[in-house]
Chain A
């Protein structure tokens, strides 16, 4: 039994990991774009992003997931997500990417604005171009500032992947829960917890390493 539970949980873990990885892949750049938009001098764009961030941060991720998965089928008459597992994972990644991009954008904005104006000015008077100032001067200082809050969000993302169960994506929590439903077994639930703990543990080590690496300057 232990072996079949393990196998089943590993299958769920794969889905969890896919949701996690693809969400990061899309939400990080999207968050950076939203961050730049939210400090743009073009005020309509700024307001638009403010409203978007308000809506996304102001409503439950679970609700957003349900709307994104079922919405197209209900309003457009046909489901744009194929009914199989891949379709469910894709819908989850889309919903999660939008949600996390909004949270990330606020963190990134703080990182951009946290670099003192004097740093940019020092670059300017030394004849650097805008992109040189960004890549050579401000970027690393931004990264240093955003690593601690980002690590928080990214660890939350690991556990938020369990919401995909709502639309029947067979992720880790779903896998563990199914043994309780079908066989009345509760120990796989704790075993599932161990999977999450190891996942988050590895991430924690990684973030500690990055923070240490960036510790050489203040």
Chain B
């Protein structure tokens, strides 16, 4: 069974239809790439999955549990919002690291706050925090940032900041990790280091949704690809198939325009 089922998601801002009848599913351990021009609804889709926007229509199911259904009463939708959010991790285009915390503190903060709600927190505070710290250091190590843990965000390059943000999102062990154009705010020479990290995650079979403009990367790394335009999924399928031999006219146009730069 698919780990994520998105059905008939619709979202309107004022009179603009941003998402229209968007449905897809994702298997555990797979990476899904979403491509499309700006304003096609890719980012809004990710924001809906992370409950930063509330869809007007449709449903979101993770591991068989319906997290969101527009048909549910509002109270039901908002119940346990925090727990529902934890199924998803989010890496933002603009990193959004907390500037007043070091790299390691950024990674540990949410985990520490969650730990405080554990019933055994008071007795085992020291061990719990030690474990969280160990986990945080391990994650930053995997991101190649072992020597940058005590640095503040403004002391790091964009690529390093984004890798901290990835470690921060991974710290809570989300079922599905979402990337919203993770390299769009980076200088070209820094995109490589971030893409390498994401590629590594794909090799480890991390379930991911990656919104990206890096066509070659999407083709290479993802197991499944969606092309969106004007709030609808125009085409989806095997990434190599879609990029090399698009069936839809709109996909062809987009890819041609893209190839021309």
Contacts and interface: CB of A to CB of B under 8 A. Distances in A.
Interface of A: 116, 118-119, 121-129, 132, 136-137, 140-141, 216-218
Contacts of B239: none
Question: Which of B92, B109, B154 has the most A CB atoms < 10 Å from its CB?
Answer: B109
Interface of B: 50-52, 82-83, 85-86, 88-90, 92, 94, 96-100, 109-110, 113-114, 152-154, 168-169, 172
Nearest to A140: B100
Given A121-B96, A140-B100, A217-B99, A127 B83 contact: yes
Nearest to A126: B110
Given A125-B85, A125-B88, 9 more contacts: A121-B52, A122-B90, A125-B89, A127-B110, A137-B98, A141-B100, A216-B100, A218-B99, A218-B154
A128 B169 CA distance: 13
B113 A128 contact: yes
Nearest to B97: A122
A34 to B, nearest CB: 26
A210 B172 CA distance: 34
Contacts, number: 62
A118 B98 CA distance: 10
Nearest to B86: A127
A89 B4 CA distance: 66
B96 A118 contact: yes
A136 B113 contact: yes
A16 to B, nearest CB: 36
A119 B82 CA distance: 16
A129 B81 CA distance: 10
21 contacts: A116-B94, A118-B92, A119-B98, A121-B92, A122-B90, A122-B92, A123-B110, A124-B50, A124-B52, A125-B89, A125-B90, A125-B169, A127-B86, A127-B110, A128-B110, A136-B113, A137-B98, A141-B99, A217-B99, A218-B99, A218-B154
